[in-house]
Structure 1
Amino acid sequence: MNLPGGPAPHDEAVALSPTWLTAVLRRRHPGAVVTATDVTERIETVATKVRFDVSYAPGAASDAPPALCAKAYFNPAARRRGSSRAEVDFYRLLAAALPVRTPPYVHAEVDEETGHPLLLMHDLVVAGARFGDPLMGFGRDQAAGTLDQLAALHAATWDGTRGRETPGADLATTFAPRLASLARHMGPEQLQTQLDDGRVPDIPTKVRRADRLLAAMGALADLSPRHPRCLVHGDVHTGNVYATADGAPGLIDWQVVQYGVWALDVGYHLAAVLHPDELARSERELLDHYLDRLAAHGGAPPGRDEAWWAYRAHLPYGFFLWSITRNVDRPITERHTGRLALAVARHDSLSLLGV
C-alpha cells in the first residue's frame, strides 16, 4: 500500500499529519479518519520519540488508538550521525511472534531509498504503563521479573530457532552480532579520554584502560560462536524496562537488538539495575533463576559452572556501552558506567577474557 509521504517520512510534520496517519491506521482500523494530532511530549536522545493524542472524525473506528508514540530520526543532526533499522526490523519481522512483552505497534517500516526507519506505537503512558527510572534502579524481585522476559526471548530464539520458523528473519543475518562493530565506534585515545573524564573515579586503573576494554570486546566477539546464541535485547538498563498497568514487566528500545550470547543481556541487566551490594548478594541466585526460567520456556540452559563463567566474562559489554556514551544526562551515565565497572573489577572479568 502506497502512503502519502512514503513509508517512513523523516519530516515530523508529515508523520503526525492527519493524511499520513489516516492512511497508516486504516490498514488495521478500516474506519479510522484522523482529524488532528496534539503533541504531549517530545524526547530527544539518539532518535526522537514524540507522544501525541489523536482525534478522529465522528463514527471512526472505535478501536483506533487514542494516543500514539512515533519514534524516528526526525532531527537532521541525528540522521547525520547515522540511523539504525534494527528496532524497526525487530517489530516488523519478529515482535508479534515472540513471547516477550513489547509496546503494541501500528506501523514499523524503513524507507529503502533513504534508509530512514520509523516506528509508530501505542502510547503506553496513556495505557497506564510506568517506565523505569534510570536513577532509581531495581530491587531483587523486579530484576527477577525482567530476567523472566529475557529468558522467554532467549528460549524462543535459542540457536536461531525463530529464524528457521519465520521467513525473512534469519537471526544471524537480519540482527547481526554487534560486538565487533561497536568496538569500532570509538578509537582507544578517545575512549581513554572518556574513561578518565570522571565517570568512573573509584575504579582501579587496571580496569579503567581503553586498550583492555577494546581487547575485551574483541575477545567476546571471538568467543561468541563457541556458545549457544539467541536474540538479545542488548541494552537492558532500568530505563528500557516498563511495567504495564497490572505490574507485568516489558521491554522497550530495541535499537541494539542482535544475535549473541545470552550472558550479554543477563550480566548487563543485573549489574546496571542493582545496587552493587545487592548485586554481590543476589547475582548467583538470580542467575540460577534465569537458567530455570530459560528451561521452563523451552531453552537448553548451560550448566551452572559454565553459566557463572559466561556471566562474569560478559560484564565488560555493558561497561563498554556506557563508556562510549556521550548523549545521555551525566548522572545517568555516571551511575551506569560506575556500577558496571565495579562489577567488572570485582569479578576480574578482563583477566577472565585473557586481556
Structure 2
Amino acid sequence: MSASTTVIATAADITPAWLTQVLGDSPRITGDARVADVVATRIGTGQLGTTYLLEVTYADGGVGKPARMVAKLPALDPANRALAASLACYSREVAFYSNLAGTLPIRTPECYHASVSADGQDFCLLLEDLTPAAEVTQVEGCDLAHARAALEQAAALHAGSWRDPALAEQEWLLSALPVWQQMSAALPQAQVAFRERYAGLLDDTTIEVAESVAGGAAARWVEQLTEPRCLWHSDFRLDNLLFDASGGRVPVAVVDWQSVALASGPVDASYFIGAGLPTEVRREHEEELLRGYHDALVRGGVTDYSWEQCLAEYRVNSLAGFVISVVVSIGTERSPEGDALFTTMAARHAAHIKDCGAVALLEG
C-alpha cells in the first residue's frame, strides 16, 4: 500500500471498477475481487475527514471477502481540508497504516487500501468495518470500565514502541514536533479568537486557563516532547475509540491516526483522562486510572519509567488537550456538533490543567 499521485477524493469516485482494481492489488484480499456494485453511506461527524460505510456486492458472491468496509476520505469543507493538509494529517495516516499498524500490539481496523496524493490534499483509506460498536461519545464522557479498557490500549501502544530505534529513523514521525511548536506559537492569538468565537459558551475556568497558558506555558510544554521515547496517538479520545466493536468481539479498537508521532512521554494518558470522563468522575478516580495505566506499561516490558516520573509528566501533559481544542477549533467550520465537542473538551482540559497545577510546574 504505497502512496500514489492518482488518488480518489470523493465518495462518487468509489465505483465498482475502481474498487475492483484496488482490492485486486491488496495483499489482504485473496482471489478474484470483481465488484458488481457498491453503495456508500456517510457515517460519523469527523472534523478533518469524511467516512463512509461501503456495502459491496461481488460478481462471484464474495465468499471470504469483506461485504462491508469503511472508506475514509478528505474533509468536504475546504477550510477543514486545508487545515488537515497543512498538518500532514492525510499523509501521516496513510504512512501509519502502510508501515506501522501491523507491527503494534494494539487493535486497529485492518487496512485494505491506503493512498495519498503528492500534495497531501487527497487520500483514501479502505478499512475493516468494526460496527456495530457501543455508543460512547466525547461530549457525554465514558464510565470507568471503558476508561480502563482505553488506557490498556494506550499502554499497549506506548510499551509496544518504547525506545524502538527503528521508529526514530522514520522522518514522518519526527516531523510532528514542528507542528506542535507552530500550534503553541499560535496559541496567544488563537485563544483570543477561541474566546470570541465561543463567547457565552465558556466557563470561568476555561477563560482563566486560556489566558494563563497563552503566557508561554504551551511553548515550554512543547520543549518537554523532544525525546522520541514512544509512539503518541495525539488524539486519543473517545470519538476515536470503538468499544465492544464487531458486536462485542473486539473490546476496543483505536482509529484515526492522522496525528501519530513520537514523543517523550505517554501524553495520550493525560489527554484521555483529562477529557474522557466528566470532571467530577475524573477527579474521584484519576490516580486509580493512571496507576492502572502505569502498571500496564510495566507488564508490557517498560522498566525505565517510574511511577513518580509518570505522574510528573502526566501533570505537565495536561496542556496537550487544551492546545488541541483551542487551535484546531478555530481552523474548522462551525457546527452544533463541533461547538459542543470543542467547548466540552476545552472545559474539561482547563479544569484538568488547573487541578494538576501544570502552568506553575512549567514556570517553576
Q: Which stretch has the larger CA shift, 328-337 or 171-180?
A: 171-180
Matching of residue 208 in structure 1 with residue 198 in structure 2: no
Amino acid at match of 1:97: T
Q: Which stretch has the larger CA shift, 98-107 or 321-330?
A: 321-330
Matching of residue 54 in structure 1 with residue 56 in structure 2: yes
Matches within 5 A, 1:13-24: 13-14=12-13, 16-24=14-22
Matches within 5 A, 1:56-95: 56-60=58-62, 62-73=63-74, 75=76, 77=78, 78-83=80-85, 84=89, 85-95=91-101
Amino acid at match of 1:154: H
CA distance in 2, matches of 1:277, 1:195: 24
Residues 96/175 of structure 1: CA separation in 2 closer, same or farther (3 Å cut) = farther
TM-score by length of 2: 0.85
- Structure 1 residues without counterparts, runs of 5 or longer: none
Matches within 5 A, 1:1-355: 7-14=6-13, 16-27=14-25, 28-43=29-44, 45-60=47-62, 62-73=63-74, 75=76, 77=78, 78-83=80-85, 84=89, 85-112=91-118, 116-125=122-131, 128-161=132-165, 163=167, 169=170, 172-173=173-174, 178-184=179-185, 186=186, 188-195=188-195, 197-203=199-205, 206-209=208-211, 212-213=213-214, 215-225=216-226, 229-243=229-243, 244=245, 245-246=248-249, 248-324=251-327, 325-326=329-330, 327=332, 329-354=338-363
Q: Are the equivalent residues in 2 in contact too, given 1:160–1:171 (CA < 8 A)?
A: no
Give aligned-pair identity as a percent.
25
CA distance in 1, matches of 2:178, 2:264: 9
Q: Are the equivalent residues in 2 in contact too, given 1:131–1:240 (CA < 8 A)?
A: no
Q: Are the equivalent residues in 2 in contact too, given 1:213–1:316 (CA < 8 A)?
A: no
User: What is the SS of the residue equivalent to 2:225?
Assistant: helix
CA distance in 1, matches of 2:123, 2:215: 29
Q: Which stretch has the larger CA shift, 170-179 or 343-352?
A: 170-179
CA distance in 2, matches of 1:140, 1:285: 10
CA distance in 2, matches of 1:204, 1:191: 10
User: What is the SS of the residue equivalent to 1:224?
Assistant: coil
Amino acid at match of 1:17: T
Q: Are the equivalent residues in 1 in contact too, given 2:140–2:278 (CA < 8 A)?
A: no
Residue 214 of structure 1, CA deviation? 6.4
Residue 114 of structure 1, CA deviation? 5.9
CA distance in 2, matches of 1:204, 1:332: 14
TM-score by length of 1: 0.87
Q: Are the equivalent residues in 2 in contact too, given 1:213–1:350 (CA < 8 A)?
A: no
User: What is the SS of the residue equivalent to 2:112?
Assistant: strand
Residue 124 of structure 1, CA deviation? 1.9
CA distance in 2, matches of 1:296, 1:108: 33
Residues 154/59 of structure 1: CA separation in 2 closer, same or farther (3 Å cut) = same
Q: Are the equivalent residues in 2 in contact too, given 1:177–1:258 (CA < 8 A)?
A: no
Residues 317/175 of structure 1: CA separation in 2 closer, same or farther (3 Å cut) = closer
CA distance in 2, matches of 1:42, 1:172: 29
Q: Are the equivalent residues in 2 in contact too, given 1:179–1:220 (CA < 8 A)?
A: no
Residues 38/252 of structure 1: CA separation in 2 closer, same or farther (3 Å cut) = same
Q: Are the equivalent residues in 1 in contact too, given 2:57–2:67 (CA < 8 A)?
A: yes
CA distance in 2, matches of 1:69, 1:56: 16
Q: Are the equivalent residues in 1 in contact too, given 2:114–2:123 (CA < 8 A)?
A: yes
CA distance in 2, matches of 1:120, 1:232: 23
User: What is the SS of the residue equivalent to 1:9?
Assistant: coil
CA distance in 2, matches of 1:114, 1:177: 17
Equivalenced residue count is: 344
Residues 311/113 of structure 1: CA separation in 2 closer, same or farther (3 Å cut) = closer
Q: Structure 1 stretches (4+) deviating beyond 6 angstroms? A: none
CA distance in 1, matches of 2:280, 2:77: 42
Q: Are the equivalent residues in 2 in contact too, given 1:200–1:341 (CA < 8 A)?
A: no
Q: Which stretch has the larger CA shift, 35-44 or 284-293?
A: 35-44
- Structure 2 residues without counterparts, runs of 5 or longer: none
What is the aligned-residue RMSD (CA, Å)?
Answer: 2.7
Residue 76 of structure 1, CA deviation? 6.5
Q: Which stretch has the larger CA shift, 76-85 or 44-53?
A: 76-85
Amino acid at match of 1:12: A
User: What is the SS of the residue equivalent to 1:141?
Assistant: helix
